[in-house]
Amino acid sequence: MNNTAYSLRRRLIWLVTLAILGVGLLSTVVVYLRAHHEADELLDTQLAQVAETLLAIATGGKLDQFVDSGGEQSRRHAVPIAYEIWRETAGAPERITLSVGHGGFSLPVAAGYSNRVHRDKNWRLFSVRDPDSAYQVIVGQRHSARDRLARETGLSLLVPMLLILPLMALLVGWVVNRALRPVDALAQSVRALDPAALTPLDSASPLPQEIVPLRDAFNALLERVSVTLENERRFTADAAHELRTPLAALKIQAQVAQRAQPGGSQQHALGQVIAGVDRMTHLVEQLLTLARVEHATDTAPAAYDAAAALQVSCEPYQATAAQNRQTLERDADPGCTPLLGRTWFEIAVRNLFANAVHYAGPGARIRVTLRCGAGRARLTVCDDGPGLPPAARASLRARFARGETEAEGCGLGLSIVERIAQRSGARLTLEDGLPRADGGVGLAVCLDCPQALPPPADAGTGNPDAAG
C-alpha cells in the first residue's frame, strides 16, 4: 500500500545470511590458520620419521623407533611407524629388518592398505612389493595413535569455534533486534494512543510488508471504534439536551406557579407542570425501551398470533387517533408471523403507529399491514399525511430527530424500531405512503423481517380487520 514497505522476512534472511557469512569467513580464517599449524607439525613430524627410518635402514635396523628420540614439542604429533622389510630368497621369505617394539607382523600381508589386529591392537598396514628384486616392505601404524591425532586436531579446531559462537549469537541478536525495531516502534505508537482521540497510526512511516496489513486492520478497527464512540458521545449530548430541556421547563413552570396569584395563571402553570411530568415520563420510558433493545435479547420467537399482537399494540394510541379524527385500517395475513419475538414486534408496531398518529396530522388515514411472502414478513405503517421528501428521510432516523414539525414527541420511536431491526436481522425503510387528495404522498415505514414459518398452503391475503 505504500512503496516504502519492505519485507521483514527478506530483511531478516539477508541480515542473518550476511552475519553467518561474516562469521563463517572469520572462522574459516581461524580454522585455516589452526589447520595449517597442525599440518605443519604433522608434516614436520613425518619428515623427522622419514629421516629416522632411512637412518635405521642405512644402519641395518638398529635404531629403536618406538623410543622417543626427539623430545621437542613437535613430537607430540608423532605417530610411530612400525616397519618390516622382507626378501624372498629361494622361495622362502626372510625378514631382513624390522623396527623395534611391535614384535613383527606375520605374513602374508596383502598388498596395499589393510587393517589387522596384532597383539590385541588395531593396526593400519601398508605393504608394497617389488617383483623384480623380491623385496616386500610393510609399514603400519596403530589406529589408537591416529585416533589421538584426529582428536587433538579436532579439539584444537573446536576451541576457536566455541569462541566464535557467542560472537555469532551476539550478531544474530543484533540483526533480529534491528529487523524487529519497526514492530517495537509500532507497539510504542499504539501504546501512546489517546483513548479520547483515536487518531489512526501514521500510514506514511515505513513498515515491513508483514506488519502493514496488521496496521491497516488496526486502523480500520480504530475507525470503527471512533465511530461508535462518536455515536455514543452524540447520544449522550442529545440525551442531555432532551432530558434537561423538559427539566428546565418543569422547574420554570413550578417557579411560575409558586409566584403566581392563585387562580388563572397559577392553574395554567400547574397544568403545564403536569404536562411536563407526563412528557418526562414518556421520554424516560422511551429511553429505557431503547436501552432494553440495545442490550437485552428478544423474547424467544415462539409462535404467536401476530394479528392479535398488532391489535394490542395499536390500542394505546387509538384514543389519540380518534381525537385527531384519523381513520385506522389494520390488516394481517393469516398465519403470518415475523421472526421477531412478540415483545419486540409489539414495541415496533406501537412506536410506528404512535409516530403515524402524531405526525400524519388530523383527519389522516393510517394503514397498518402485515404481509407474508417469499420467506419475508413485511410490517408497514403508512399514512396519507404530509409525508417526507426522500432527502429528509435519512436524517429522521437519527436519535432524537423529530423532523420539521410542530408535533410533540421525543424522537426516539424510529431509533427504537431501527435498533430492533438491526438486532433481529430485519430492515427498516422509509417509503412513499398513501396518496393524498392533493396529489402528494404520505409516509410509509416498512419493517422487513424473515418470516418465522412458511404460511399454510391455503393462506390467502385479505381478511381485512378494520378498526379505528
Phi, psi of 356 (to 5 degrees): -60, -45
The answer to whether residue 256 forms part of the interface with other proteins (CB under 8 A) is yes
The answer to whether residue 286 forms part of the interface with other proteins (CB under 8 A) is no
Q: Which of 61, 208, 246, 338 touches other proteins (CB under 8 A)?
A: 246
Local structure of residue 117 (DSSP, 8 states) = E
The answer to whether residue 234 forms part of the interface with other proteins (CB under 8 A) is no
Written as one string, the DSSP assignment of 97-123 is EE-TTS--PPSP--SEEEEEEETTEEE
Nearest to 201 by CA among 213, 179, 184, 216: 216
How many other β-carbons are positioned within 10 Å of the β-carbon of residue 321?
Answer: 22
Q: Which of 42, 96, 100, 249 touches other proteins (CB under 8 A)?
A: 249
Within 394-453, which residues bind other proteins (CB under 8 A)? 404, 408
The answer to whether residue 272 forms part of the interface with other proteins (CB under 8 A) is yes
The answer to whether residue 244 forms part of the interface with other proteins (CB under 8 A) is yes
Written as one string, the DSSP assignment of 212-245 is HHHHHHHHHHHHHHHHHHHHHHHHHHHHHHHHHH
The answer to whether residue 281 forms part of the interface with other proteins (CB under 8 A) is no
Bridge pairing between strands 112-118 and 92-98: unpaired
Bond before 456 cis per omega within 30 degrees: no
Could you tell me the smallest distance in angstroms from the CB atom of residue 275 to other proteins?
6
Q: Looking at beta carbons only, is 52 or 242 nearer to other proteins? A: 242
Q: Looking at beta carbons only, is 335 or 361 nearer to other proteins? A: 361
Q: Which of 279, 371, 393, 436 touches other proteins (CB under 8 A)?
A: 279
Q: Which of 237, 288, 319, 394 touches other proteins (CB under 8 A)?
A: 237
Rg of the chain taking only CA atoms, in angstroms: 51
The answer to whether residue 168 forms part of the interface with other proteins (CB under 8 A) is no
Q: Which of 9, 76, 224, 259 touches other proteins (CB under 8 A)?
A: 259
Length of the chain: 468
Phi, psi of 197 (to 5 degrees): -130, 90
C-alpha span between 166 and 407 (Å, rounded): 82
Q: Looking at beta carbons only, is 6 or 235 nearer to other proteins? A: 235
Could you tell me the smallest distance in angstroms from the CB atom of residue 189 to other proteins?
27
Q: Which of 9, 10, 146, 251 touches other proteins (CB under 8 A)?
A: 251
State the cell numbers at 14.
539477508
Q: Looking at beta carbons only, is 207 or 269 nearer to other proteins? A: 269
The answer to whether residue 248 forms part of the interface with other proteins (CB under 8 A) is yes
Which segment (40-48, 242-250, 305-313, 385-393) binds other proteins by CB under 8 A? 242-250
Q: Which of 28, 205, 265, 422 touches other proteins (CB under 8 A)?
A: 265
Q: Which of 247, 296, 308, 453 touches other proteins (CB under 8 A)?
A: 247
Q: Which of 12, 138, 186, 269 touches other proteins (CB under 8 A)?
A: 269
The answer to whether residue 303 forms part of the interface with other proteins (CB under 8 A) is no
State the cell numbers at 79.
605417530
Nearest to 430 by CA among 384, 385, 386, 397: 397
Q: Which of 144, 199, 245, 429 touches other proteins (CB under 8 A)?
A: 245
* Cβ atoms of residues 327 and 288 within 8 Å: no
Q: Looking at beta carbons only, is 271 or 363 nearer to other proteins? A: 271
Could you tell me the smallest distance in angstroms from the CB atom of residue 247 to other proteins?
4
Could you tell me the smallest distance in angstroms from the CB atom of residue 263 to other proteins?
13
Please, which residues have CB within 8 angstroms of residue 325's CB and are 6 or more apart in sequence?
362, 363
Coil, strand, or helix at residue 118? strand
Sign of CA dihedral 64, 67, 72, 75: positive
Amino acid at 185: A
The answer to whether residue 242 forms part of the interface with other proteins (CB under 8 A) is yes
Could you tell me the smallest distance in angstroms from the CB atom of residue 239 to other proteins?
9
Q: Which of 260, 270, 312, 401 touches other proteins (CB under 8 A)?
A: 260
- For other proteins (CB under 8 A), the number of binding residues is 28
Written as one string, the DSSP assignment of 270-310 is HHHHHHHHHHHHHHHHHHHHHHHHHHSPPPP-----HHHHH
Query: What angle, 0 to 180 degrees and rounded to 10, lies between the N-to-C axes of helices 342-359 and 306-314?
Result: 40
Which residues contact other proteins by CB under 8 A? 237, 240-253, 255-256, 259-260, 265, 268-269, 272, 275-276, 279, 404, 408
